[in-house]
Amino acid sequence: MSKQILILAGDGIGPEIMSAAEHVLNVVNEKFNLGLSWEHGLLGGCAIDAHGVPLPDVTLDAARKADAVLLGAVGGPKWDTIERSIRPERGLLKIRSELNLFANLRPAILYPQLADASSLKPEIVAGLDILIVRELTGGIYFGQPRGIRTLENGEKQGYNTDVYSESEIKRIAKVAFELAGLRGGKVCSVDKANVLEVTELWKQTVTDLAASEYPNIQLSHMYVDNAAMQLVRAPKQFDVIVTGNLFGDILSDEAAMLTGSIGMLPSASLDESGKGMYEPCHGSAPDIAGKGIANPLATILSVAMMLRYTFREETAAKAIEDAVGKVLDQDLRTGDIMSEGMTQVGTQAMGEAVVKAL
Amino acid sequence: MSKQILILAGDGIGPEIMSAAEHVLNVVNEKFNLGLSWEHGLLGGCAIDAHGVPLPDVTLDAARKADAVLLGAVGGPKWDTIERSIRPERGLLKIRSELNLFANLRPAILYPQLADASSLKPEIVAGLDILIVRELTGGIYFGQPRGIRTLENGEKQGYNTDVYSESEIKRIAKVAFELAGLRGGKVCSVDKANVLEVTELWKQTVTDLAASEYPNIQLSHMYVDNAAMQLVRAPKQFDVIVTGNLFGDILSDEAAMLTGSIGMLPSASLDESGKGMYEPCHGSAPDIAGKGIANPLATILSVAMMLRYTFREETAAKAIEDAVGKVLDQDLRTGDIMSEGMTQVGTQAMGEAVVKAL
Ligand SMILES: CC(C)[C@H](C(=O)O)[C@@H](O)C(=O)O
Ligand SMILES: CC(C)[C@H](C(=O)O)[C@@H](O)C(=O)O
């Protein structure tokens, strides 16, 4: 069985955090005898610089052959003004789509050691553990027709199409129901069915699937505006949230920020067979790139997710997560999660502390 | 000059909160010699019960003739299962569209007396005063084509169209810039221009308008996912936020909830001439309807907004707002904003306290 990983460090702080994560990967690979091997490729701004496009064919080919992709972060001001069809984000959207990574899992977990970092009151967020399941290859992100046209009266008009078919909705809902079964058993499906037909079909399809195949899952529905409110008011009411591409983009970032420590949150984007791309929830943070101060823990935890979901190595995954817990217990903090009385460390030192704790 | 108001109490707690607000309206009308008169009409569930549709022609005609509409809240479980084309929300969407109420102003203000009600830490939200300017008659809410169709393979597909023209974007941006000029002088335009062409045109149009007509306004741009995060992380960075219909729906509810006291927040929906519909940000709260415990302050503050924006009666508007401040200082609280040591009162008593404070 092949166990090949493609590592795409990307831009900004990407290379730094990936180097720390690779160190951890190396150590678990040996310690648990996982038999993983990996190579490196270019995605995003660095790929534009080298090949003129954010997702070169050589990267896409390597990604197709690999069993999992480990991604740092892409983008930065350097590429913000180039022609939009070849901006770094386009590479990200294209690799998601080409690899059919339709299921984006974004956990929002508050580490007890970091409860203070949240802008919310401790009693509101203590113990927070939400999983957002976002549809990632459909909806308004990819819908046709789209563009900017000139109307007869000479003014411009921009348009996009939000579109979902039953089969697309079913396969993402299935992921949410299955994962909820391994957790709290509750799924909240988020839509705007009182206004948008596309989400009316979403709601109906999710409801039907639950009734026929997941009678033991407790399914609820919420309008997206209310969900944005409830996440602020009482986030612990949620277990698994399932929603479309755009609402998932917005709500998963809101949920991540509830923890106050987005530098701690990994994510997974999976296809139907369990192949996946794993990446931190945070961005490429160009403002602190190259300074060696970025938090590598989200990337390290992305390695753990990769071991769990693609390679089914639960023991090794758990070992990484426990090691991260240990370094937090040792009061080690990068700048983004620093608080009084803790010991501030840089990217590399944090990575090494995790390795040591393993 | 005609000064005619149409009052639409609506459903759920609507009639109770409106009765308290009408009492206040009566008193300021006399006290400040405003010369306002009003009549009542039906919108939402109560209109469905009486006329079979959520926005009967008689209501729409009366609304067209009036200078301002004062709305309670619409909807409830009783009408949740009827044919969707005549649900209560449809009445709301139709009256917005028919009256051309394109500019929705939603303030998120934290009253110092209620700082505790927020789920956020006091230092994050103390003094919060954001104004969200949401486009209300365009975008994906009204875009064509839309619907649910059956594909050749037999499965259903839902679709909606997000669409904005330059003129629609300009007129809402203008409102935001003008209002920012009366406040902190800052506008943050929220889009998803890295993915959606319709918001790429939005961003470009807002940028051009600012450069040519509002050089003194400090304009910034933010992606919607980041805005959802920043509202949680550091909401006080915002002054005026301007955005499209759907993003505005989500972000204004999120921002309102930051205050923890959505029962305090009014809103205005204006056309090009200053005619407007005024309503509380909260819904019809069917669970507490008829109990006399709902908070009437958002509706009372909607009266103040109406006096300010449509009738240009700043003194009377300010008097109402000051009176609301006074009752809070008197430690009077409805259940939704109750906290230890305060005196809990019902809807009617709260309304009367405001009248007395006037
Ligand atoms: C960079 C952008 C295209 C992307 C998205 O909107 O999906 C990002 O916000 C994310 O959530 O991964
Ligand atoms: C009831 C619904 C149609 C409405 C909207 O989405 O505009 C409401 O959420 C609002 O924000 O006023």
Domain shared by B141 and B220, yes or no: yes
- Chain center to CA of B67: 18
B234 touches chain A (CB under 8 A): yes
For the CA of A223, the closest atom of ligand 2 is 9
Domain containing A72 equals: 1-110+262-358
Considering every ligand atom shown, identify the ligand nearest to the alpha carbon of residue B84 and give its number. Answer: 2
With vertex at residue A42, the alpha carbon angle to CA A39 and CA A45, rounded to the nearest 5 degrees, is 160
pLDDT in tens, chain B (358 residues): 579 999 999 999 999 999 999 999 999 999 999 999 999 999 999 999 999 999 999 999 999 999 999 999 999 999 988 988 899 999 999 999 999 999 999 999 999 999 889 999 999 999 999 999 999 999 999 999 999 999 999 999 999 999 999 999 999 999 999 999 999 999 999 999 999 999 999 999 999 999 999 999 999 999 999 999 999 999 999 999 999 999 999 999 999 999 998 999 999 999 999 999 999 999 999 999 999 999 999 999 999 999 999 999 999 999 999 999 999 999 999 999 999 999 999 999 999 999 999 9
A149 touches chain B (CB under 8 A): no
Active site residue B141: yes
**Strand pairing class (A276-280; A240-243):** unpaired
Domain shared by B230 and B320, yes or no: no
Q: Which of B119, B204, B282 to mutate to test the interface with A (most CBs of A within 10 A)?
A: B119
For the CA of B195, the closest atom of ligand 1 is 3
Give the Cα separation of B52 and B85 in Å (integer): 11
Domain membership flag for residue A80: yes
Pick from A198, A205, A228: CB nearest B228: A228
Is B225 in Cβ contact with A253 (below 8 Å)? yes
- Looking at the complex, report in whole angstroms how far the Cα of residue A346 sits from the nearest Cα belonging to chain B: 23
Range B49-64 burial, b when 16+ CB lie within 10 A, else e? eeeebbbbeebbebbe
Domain shared by B171 and B145, yes or no: yes
- Chain center to CA of B173: 17
Which of A11, A55, A79, A92 should be mutated for ligand 1, with most atoms under 8 A from CB?
A92
Is A162 in Cβ contact with B161 (below 8 Å)? yes
pLDDT of amino acid B84? 83
pLDDT of amino acid B1? 56
Domain membership flag for residue B345: yes
pLDDT of amino acid A1? 56
B149 touches chain A (CB under 8 A): no
B162 annotated as a binding-site residue: no
How crowded is residue B15: how many other Cβ atoms within 10 Å of its Cβ?
Answer: 16
Final residue belonging to a domain, choices B207, B235, B258: B258
Distances, alpha carbon B81 to alpha carbons A17, A114, B76, in Å: 51, 45, 10
For the CA of A93, the closest atom of ligand 1 is 3
**Strand pairing class (A156-165; B156-165):** antiparallel
Ligand 1, atom 10, residue with closest C-alpha: A249
In the reported structure, the alpha carbon of residue B175 is separated from the centroid of ligand 2 by a whole-number distance in angstroms of 20
Domain membership flag for residue A253: no
A148 touches chain B (CB under 8 A): yes
B228 touches chain A (CB under 8 A): yes
3-state secondary structure chain B: CCCEEEEEEECCCHHHHHHHHHHHHHHHHHHCCCCCEEEEECCCHHHHHHHCCCCCHHHHHHHHHCCEEEEEECCCHHHCCCCHHHCHHHHHHHHHHHCCCCEEEEEEECCHHHHHHCCECHHHHCCCEEEEEEECCCHHHCCCCCEEEECCCCCEEEEEEEEEEHHHHHHHHHHHHHHHHCCCCEEEEEECCCCCHHHHHHHHHHHHHHHHHCCCCEEEEEEHHHHHHHHHHCHHHCCEEEECHHHHHHHHHHHHHHCCCHHHCEEEEECCCCCEEEEECCCCCHHHCCCCCCCCHHHHHHHHHHHHHCCCCHHHHHHHHHHHHHHHHCCEECHHHCCCCCEECCHHHHHHHHHHHC
Which of A93, A250, A269 should be mutated for ligand 1, with most atoms under 8 A from CB?
A93
Is A232 in Cβ contact with B257 (below 8 Å)? yes
pLDDT of amino acid A187? 98
For the CA of B249, the closest atom of ligand 2 is 11
CB B188 within 8 A of CB B238: yes
Domain shared by B332 and B241, yes or no: no
Tens of pLDDT, residue by residue over A254-268, are 999 999 989 999 999
Q: Which of B194, B222, B247 to mutate to test the interface with A (most CBs of A within 10 A)?
A: B194
pLDDT of amino acid A247? 98
A161 touches chain B (CB under 8 A): yes
CB B189 within 8 A of CB B202: yes
Give the chain B residue whose CA is nearest to the CA of A200. B158
- Looking at the complex, report in whole angstroms how far the Cα of residue B147 sits from the nearest Cα belonging to chain A: 5
Count up the domains in chain B and report the number: 2
For the CA of A252, the closest atom of ligand 1 is 11
**Taking Cα atoms as reference points, which of A288, A289, A271, A269 lies closest to residue A279?**
A269
Domain membership flag for residue A86: yes
Token pair recorded at residue A225? 């505006």
Torsion of CA A9, A10, A12, A13, to 10 degrees: -20
Domain shared by B157 and B133, yes or no: yes
Domain shared by B271 and B245, yes or no: no
Q: Which of B86, B197, B284 to mutate to test the interface with A (most CBs of A within 10 A)?
A: B197
Residues pairing with B147 in the sheet? B159
B102 touches chain A (CB under 8 A): no
Active site residue B67: no
Token pair recorded at residue A78? 């350097």
Is A197 in Cβ contact with B119 (below 8 Å)? no
Domain membership flag for residue B113: no
Domain membership flag for residue B109: no
Active site residue B249: yes
Domain shared by B162 and B133, yes or no: yes
Give the chain B residue whose CA is nearest to the CA of A157. B165
Which of B225, B226, B230 should be mutated for ligand 1, with most atoms under 8 A from CB?
B225
Tens of pLDDT, residue by residue over A260-313, are 989 999 999 999 999 999 999 999 999 999 999 999 999 999 999 999 999 999
pLDDT of amino acid A19? 98
Collect all residues of chain A within an 8 Å Cβ-Cβ radius of residue B93: 195
Domain membership flag for residue B107: no
A 238-257 residues with CB below 8 A of B?
246-247, 249-254, 256-257
Considering every ligand atom shown, identify the ligand nearest to the alpha carbon of residue B252 and give its number. Answer: 2
Give the Cα separation of B242 and B172 in Å (integer): 8
Given a cut of 70, the residues of chain A with pLDDT beneath it are 1
pLDDT of amino acid B21? 98
**Taking Cα atoms as reference points, which of B356, B354, B352, B347 lies closest to residue B73?**
B347
| CATH code for the domain of B178 | 3.40.718.10
Final residue belonging to a domain, choices B242, B258, B274: B258
Could you tell me which residues come within 8 angstroms of residue A234 by beta carbon, excluding any fewer than 6 positions away?
A124, B119
Domain membership flag for residue B293: yes
Catalytic residue among B192, B203, B214, B239, which?
A: B192
Collect all residues of chain B within an 8 Å Cβ-Cβ radius of residue A117: none
Collect all residues of chain A within an 8 Å Cβ-Cβ radius of residue B89: 194-195
